[in-house]
């Protein structure tokens, strides 16, 4: 039985991850900003030992205190998933620095503000698993989502360094590179065969973190697709709307 903390626990994917852990009998501590949504998620996993905490990660200077409260609530933690994020409005971010900054803050800065105290705790404990949901969008900038992708790309690099730092003490750091998933966050996107399903994605997330792998593309077929996207020369890339277009 593990003590599992999920930050951003009310997202569709995080809810599904919580249910996987609940079915295994793990203890859960769920952290999110909306009390009503958080209560609904807690009800879904009521058959296990579950506690909740209301917190708004956008107040980044408070996040160290938020992490300390989460650790205290369970008397320590074994596994942590950071699952919060937001696509934002790409076109608005091209016209407004305020919108661009909000996307960068949500998807990179606020995550780092959680990672620093979490990493320090796990490093001192000398054990644990840390997983962070990023995106395939962070592998290459494309007009459709390059502000969001830049935040996720920066997060991927940050996690590489953190993983190497924590490796000697036995703490695993798993970068979870998700492709698009059929959730409310992508409700305005045309759905196609490459969209993942929340329950299957959740099982893959838990499996990747259990194995302690460094990076996991989810669904797994993105591991074959993304090298093509990343390595296509720029001049050629720009000529193919299905790769580079909005």
DSSP 54-113: E--TTSGGGHHHHHHHHHHHHTS-SEEEE-------HHHHHH-HHHHHHHHIIIIIHHHH
Mean pLDDT within 118-127:
98
What is the C-alpha separation between 120 and 126, in angstroms, rounded? 10
Residue-wise pLDDT tens digits, 21-44 = 999 999 999 999 999 999 999 999
Number of Cβ within 10 Å of residue 44's Cβ equals 13
Residue-wise pLDDT tens digits, 194-236 = 777 989 999 999 999 999 999 999 999 999 999 998 999 988 8
Q: What is the pLDDT of residue 169?
A: 97
**Residue scoring higher pLDDT (46 or 181):** 46
CA nearest neighbour of 120 among 83, 161, 67: 67
Helix, strand, coil fractions of the chain, as percent rounded to 5: 55, 15, 30
Q: What is the pLDDT of residue 41?
A: 97
Q: What is the pLDDT of residue 29?
A: 98
What is the C-alpha separation between 27 and 90, in angstroms, rounded? 38
Q: What is the pLDDT of residue 201?
A: 95
pTM of the model: 0.93
Q: What is the CATH number of domain 3-244?
A: 3.40.50.720
Residue-wise pLDDT tens digits, 149-190 = 999 999 999 999 999 999 999 999 999 999 988 766 655 655
């Amino acid at each position: 039985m593990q003590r599992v903390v999920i930050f951003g626990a009310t997202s569709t994917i995080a809810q599904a991850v919580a249910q996987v852990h609940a079915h295994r009998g793990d203890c859960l501590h769920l952290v999110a900003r909306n009390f009503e949504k958080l209560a609904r998620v807690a009800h879904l996993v009521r058959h296990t030992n579950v506690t909740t905490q209301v917190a708004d990660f956008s107040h980044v200077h408070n996040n160290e205190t938020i992490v300390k409260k989460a650790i205290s609530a369970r008397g320590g933690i074994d596994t942590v998933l950071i699952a919060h994020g937001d696509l934002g409005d790409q076109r608005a971010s091209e016209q407004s620095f305020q919108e661009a900054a909000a996307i960068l803050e949500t998807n990179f800065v606020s995550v780092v503000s959680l990672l620093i105290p979490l990493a320090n705790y796990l490093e001192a404990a000398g054990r644990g698993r840390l997983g962070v949901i990023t995106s395939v969008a962070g592998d290459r900038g494309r007009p459709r989502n390059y502000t969001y992708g830049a935040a996720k790309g920066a997060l991927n690099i940050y996690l590489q360094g953190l993983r190497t730092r924590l490796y000697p003490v036995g703490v695993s750091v798993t970068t979870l590179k998700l492709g698009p998933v059929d959730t409310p966050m992508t409700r305005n996107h045309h759905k196609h065969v490459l969209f993942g399903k929340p329950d299957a994605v959740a099982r893959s997330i838990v499996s990747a973190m259990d194995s302690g792998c460094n990076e996991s593309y989810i669904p797994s077929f993105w591991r074959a697709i993304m090298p093509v996207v990343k390595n296509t020369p720029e001049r050629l890339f720009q000529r193919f709307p299905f790769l580079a277009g909005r």
